[in-house]
Structure 1
Amino acid sequence: MKEILLDRLENSDNIGFDIKRIPSNDLTDNFPTEAHRDDHYTFFLLESGSGSVLVDFQTVQVNSPSLFFVLPGQVNQPVDQDAAKGWFLGVEASLMPTQSRDALGGQLMLQQPIPLDPLQLRQFGDLLNLILEKRQAPNNDVLYRPAIHALVQAFLLEVARSYSHMTGVNSGLSRPHQLLQEFKKLLSTEIKNLKSPSAYALQLHVTESYLNEVVKKISGFTVSYWIRHEAIMEAKRLLYYSELTSKEIAYELGYDDHSYFGRIFTKEVGMPAIAFRRQYRK
């Protein structure tokens, strides 16, 4: 059975991250060129040039100077690049500060590149260069790992700050935004088990009406919409990148009645699952 490729972080000494320079002529030599999921957070700092990446069926154009990230589990694939130059940083989830994880993963819509002004570009570049220097000259003393991890986490927190400023969301201030982040996190991990707004409200210790009010006010759509959206998105991934039948995909996503899920898919996508697979594999 064909499965979606999982790209694991190159991490032979268990340091928890990987960092590389991206020269203009070597982008495809360092990273998977086929559709894949990552088991880690991926950050690209684009200093010059441009490129585009397909993330969960949406093409994202990334122009310099900017910073773009891909979340663990998102299916992504490079589309093209034009003299792209900058940095790559891959980070295990265990190294992500809670504030960064919430800020970057708490939005329901697809993330967008973060445009950088000259000062931000220099500061991010200096920090990544310092991390690379420390990484290339490892030291066995007891403080080496805490020190280099602190540098990586400083970068992650600065990314989260920049992204929060761009989106106008500060996860430390608004309880509704915190609730939205908690819902997004729960949705991504429990979509196979929880299918009703009341089930998510119960897990989040709020009433169903309050959860729906918050989610709709901030995102523009109801809780039921986002539950269907998450299930349909995962179904699309499996239809395109695996050989599972539509019936097997329904069961994989926790639907005992595959016919019912088939009707949901057709209503949301505008075509049956098998037609979607046939169209997108042309």
Structure 2
Amino acid sequence: MLNQDIQILTLNKLNTHISLRSELGILTMDNFLEKVNKNGNFKNKFYAVFLFTDCKGSLKIDNQCYDLIPHQFFFLNYNQVFSFQDTESCKGYVLLFTKSFYNYIYTGNKMINSDTALVEMSPYIILKNESRKDQWQSFEELKKEYQSEKILFKEVICLLLKVFVLKYIRYSHKTSHLNTQSDRKKTLVDHFNNLVNINFKELKTTSTYAKKLNITPNYLNAIIKESLDISAGKIIKNRVILEAERLLLHTTLSVTEISYELGFSDKSHFGKYFKAEKEYSPNQYRKANTG
């Protein structure tokens, strides 16, 4: 169980907007930082986009630290751990939304309708010139509709949100793989990623996921490699290691407790698995990164 060093954020805790507060929220950066008290580690139970107009300091997402600069947007996925460090004069907005709200309207395009567009979102983009004007205009339209509560405003907001997300992808220059996959392959990649996020503690081999998807391990590995330029096994291992890092850095659980939490039969098995990837034992990694 996570200790109190890491705080869980939900939309109901953060959002004062009544109609959509459990599904979507837009807060000023000042208001958001005031609600999270700016200090500490936080895990969000939603998607989040941080839109900075001006800021000094840094933002740590999982174990990666980013220096903040004006007109920089960050995308955070479900359950990512983040913290602000040495920040001052932070201005901008925070856009929060749930998976169910993003999928509220079926568009006829599987990539847009499902979470496929959100699987490989770049952690940040830096906007300049026309891209800056275009992305901010999309956000302002979204914010204006969010504040209006006119008839059908929920439907309009959902569509504007999709536009905002697609433009984020456009300006992160990561669209090439989206244009080359068949719909079936897109769906399989999406289902595989979802299955890994749900089952990574219990299932750690490509063959077990292939069986759930009713395809062969070789075919699963081929479409993942084609789509994401990484093997299916590596996707699984990366998810396990990410969770291990979170638990080592943000909880007081012992290495033995973490090994059981992640589905390993014993501490030794977990230690070998972790060291093969990080070149440090779990204890060495914790000491090196927590001082």
TM-score range, shorter chain: 0.7 to 0.9
Aligned counterparts of 1:254 and 1:212: Cα–Cα separation in 2: 23
After the TM superposition, which residues 200-239 of structure 1 pair with which residues of structure 2 at under 5 Å, given as runs?
200-239=209-248
The offset of 1:271, in angstroms, is 2.4
Deviations 1:92-120 (A, max 9, x none): 2211146273122246xxx3322334333
Aligned counterparts of 2:230 and 2:160: Cα–Cα separation in 1: 38
The offset of 1:48, in angstroms, is 4.1
2:84 is the alignment partner of 1:78: yes
The aligned residue for residue 100 of structure 2 is: 94
Secondary structure of residue in 1 paired with 2:176: coil
The offset of 1:34, in angstroms, is 1.6
2:24 is the alignment partner of 1:17: yes
Aligned counterparts of 1:130 and 1:45: Cα–Cα separation in 2: 15
Deviations 1:238-259 (A, max 9, x none): 1111122212212211223332
Given that 1:96 and 1:156 are in contact with CA atoms closer than 8 Å, whether structure 2 keeps it comes out as no
Secondary structure of residue in 1 paired with 2:192: helix
Q: 1:28 to 1:230 in 2, by over 3 A?
A: same
The offset of 1:82, in angstroms, is 6.1
Structure 1: 5+ residue runs without aligned partners? none
Aligned counterparts of 2:125 and 2:224: Cα–Cα separation in 1: 24
Percentage of identical aligned residues: 25
Count of equivalent residues: 273
The offset of 1:234, in angstroms, is 0.5
After the TM superposition, which residues 186-201 of structure 1 pair with which residues of structure 2 at under 5 Å, given as runs?
186-201=195-210
Deviations 1:255-281 (A, max 9, x none): 233321122123322222223222322
The offset of 1:69, in angstroms, is 0.5
The aligned residue for residue 6 of structure 1 is: 8
2:58 is the alignment partner of 1:52: yes
The aligned residue for residue 134 of structure 2 is: 123
The offset of 1:28, in angstroms, is 3.8
The aligned residue for residue 29 of structure 1 is: 34
Secondary structure of residue in 2 paired with 1:171: helix
Aligned counterparts of 2:230 and 2:155: Cα–Cα separation in 1: 42
Given that 1:47 and 1:121 are in contact with CA atoms closer than 8 Å, whether structure 2 keeps it comes out as no
Given that 1:21 and 1:87 are in contact with CA atoms closer than 8 Å, whether structure 2 keeps it comes out as yes
Match of 2:161 among 149, 152, 166: 152
Q: For 1:267, give the aligned amino acid.
A: A
Aligned-CA RMSD value: 2.9
Deviations 1:156-198 (A, max 9, x none): 34334444xx113353641356544433232222101211110
Aligned counterparts of 1:249 and 1:227: Cα–Cα separation in 2: 17
Q: 1:17 to 1:270 in 2, by over 3 A?
A: same
TM-score normalised to the size of structure 1? 0.82
Deviations 1:20-51 (A, max 9, x none): 2336xx77435443211101111122334565
2:176 is the alignment partner of 1:169: yes
Given that 1:102 and 1:181 are in contact with CA atoms closer than 8 Å, whether structure 2 keeps it comes out as yes
Q: For 1:7, give the aligned amino acid.
A: L
Q: 1:144 to 1:27 in 2, by over 3 A?
A: closer
Given that 1:106 and 1:182 are in contact with CA atoms closer than 8 Å, whether structure 2 keeps it comes out as no
Aligned counterparts of 2:177 and 2:171: Cα–Cα separation in 1: 10
Structure 2: 5+ residue runs without aligned partners? 104-110
TM-score normalised to the size of structure 2? 0.79
Secondary structure of residue in 2 paired with 1:167: coil
Deviations 1:194-222 (A, max 9, x none): 11110111222321112223334554543
